[in-house]
Amino acid sequence: MSAINAIYNANIYIDGNSLLGNASEFKLPEFEFGQDDHTGLGMVGTIKLPNGVEALEG
């Protein structure tokens, strides 16, 4: 599996409509998935379930 760590020569848009300029390099943030512990009725133990992606900073 390949990973993308940065994007080069990217166009930057405002509201997806107006071109603001060109970014020479943009480093992508690390993705961290949050997890919740879940204990169901009749379950002996707990399981961890994903609850989404944590806040990203660019």
Look at residues 1, 3, 2, 21 and name the one whose alpha carbon lies nearest to residue 11.
21
Q: How many CA atoms lie within 13 A of 12 on its CB side?
A: 10
Report the Cα–Cα distance between both ends of the chain, in Å, rounded: 23
pLDDT for the residue numbered 2: 53
What does pTM read for this prediction? Answer: 0.44
pLDDT for the residue numbered 1: 45
> What residue spans define the domains of the chain?
6-53
pLDDT digits (tens, 9 = 90+) for 1-58: 456 788 899 998 988 889 999 999 988 887 788 888 988 888 889 999 888 888 777 6
pLDDT for the residue numbered 58: 63
